[in-house]
Structure 1
Amino acid sequence: MTDERLSALVSRLVKDCEDYRDELAVDRIKAMEYYDGTMKDVPADANRSKVVSRDVRAAIKKVLPSLIRTILGNDKVVEFAPVDQGDEAAADQATDYIIGQTELMVRTFAQGLKRVFQGLLRLVVKHQDRPRMVRLRGQWVTFDPRQWNAGMDATVNTGLGAGTRERDMMMIQMILQLQEKLLMTLGPDNPYVSPDNLYNGIAKSAEAAGLKSPDLYFTKPAPEEIQRRMQAAAAKPDPEMQKLQMQAQAEAAKAQLTAENERRKLEIERELKLIEIQQKGALTRYQIDAELNLKRQQNAAQLLDGEPLAVAHIGGMPG
């Protein structure tokens, strides 16, 4: 089959679908009017009640939230369990495949909801006649839809990914670790990770864990508080600079102590030398006095015996 023939076949199928859609348009509009309780083609009888029962609509609205939670609120829409030994890998593959197909189906359906939400936006901008106060992210705020741009684009978040909650939490943890590294390396005023980015990562991790309100577990800091803390951190001395200053002070104290020890050592050596000299002088004087006394005694003995006096040598033997 050539490309031209395939293109013509697809175009014809699309044209048939559009024609069939146009044929059913009137019936769809009538069905939606019946669903809402509007029955223009069935006029009420005279003097009879005009109340229309909406049991079908009430039943659908009652069951629909539970169905949505069942489909979109679980980690896995379906999970196949192995029966025989060796079926574990096949069961996991089948589960991942069905999850992927379900995601494709939901995202395709979301493309139709995109037009619905854009229509709702246009209706609100057109018919809202006064400002409204609503609770947004835990705070009451006032807004005026009449100032909005009715042509804004819309993105539908399906809340259903191709993986499981474990995969989402793993990805969030990787992002948080990268943010932490950037903050530790470049500081809190770096151009890559702001405090809002960090809080968004923390909030997403809580949502990935299945917690609906991250505000119950983490508080988003106000810009004024962030600015105050950053100014306080900037005024605080740098830890590295403090470390260098302490090292310099320790080295100066060590050098001063070494110099003091050398000075004391020299003083002690000088005092010991002086004491040694004094001791040698005292010993010399003692020796001289002892020799003088001995010579006097010898001379006195010689005089008594009538012998001539011997030559006295003071301070030891002559050289």
Structure 2
Amino acid sequence: MKRIWKQVQQTLRILGAGILAILVLVSSTVPGGERLEQVRAYTRGVEFDYAGWMLAALWDKGQQWALSAPRYWDEKTQRQVVEDWAALTREVQALRAESARIFADPSVSDPQTAAAPVLARLRAREAEQARLGALSEEILQIQTRAVLAEMGLTYGKQAVPSVLYRISKLPLALVVSPREVIRQDANISLLPDMGLDEITALEQRVEQELGVSALVVQIGGVAVYPAMVMETTNLVYLTDTVAHEWTHNYLTLRPLGMLYDASPELRSMNETAASLAGKEIGLRVLERYYPDLVPPPPAP
């Protein structure tokens, strides 16, 4: 009973911290300004819903914490699960590429039938990937928290906020700049499944009607809470990104994060701090749990 009550308390703490983060982070996701509101006149129908995504992710994380066992496994078992997930993700990505080739091949008269065996295997592997993915996320969260404690970046061995991330399709980012100078006047998150034709039409419309430069780009992670991280099998990149986004979450509770959008200089300082911390913390995670994956030192 004591263990169950402890799990319930931890789940409630995670949900409480997450709701607080939503109130802070959503308010800072879209900076104010006249130019921003001008651009949003063209994007409101395709903007990404961060609040909805965070609430769903927090609910899933709370359930995982209450029900999952990775925190009781030894390090060898934890590593094996993460490696199994990475291998399965590589297989899923290969099956997606194979099905895309079939549908793109003009010589295939009935691509739906031709791709049926591939799609059936893809659905089965994606279901297994989702199960292992939840376990892998929790393991990397545990490992990162342990390294943060070793580095003295916790309070009573508790990371504040706790390290939480979720693999997800990432929103696209519409970046707007004046034509005569390189400067970010607006950065608006868009739905991840927009087609190339929709993206091109949006860029052209914003540029022509507002007299600016507009570009829709992909991103690697978003420091909402839990952090949103793109799917990858590269554990060097993944550990770095998880630590990078946690640093953003950490700074959000401090002046440098609260003033993220106050000026381009503060935004650059915040991103530089997160990049430096992410690389160092991510490297410590690799050295501690995946030493054979540590990349060689850069050349002088």
Please say whether Structure 1 and Structure 2 have the same fold, judged by a TM-score greater than 0.5: no
Which structure has the highest strand share of the two?
2
Per the shorter chain, which TM-score range? under 0.3
Q: Per chain length, whose mean CA-contact separation is higher, i.e. which structure has more relative contact order (CA < 8 Å, sep 6+)?
A: 2
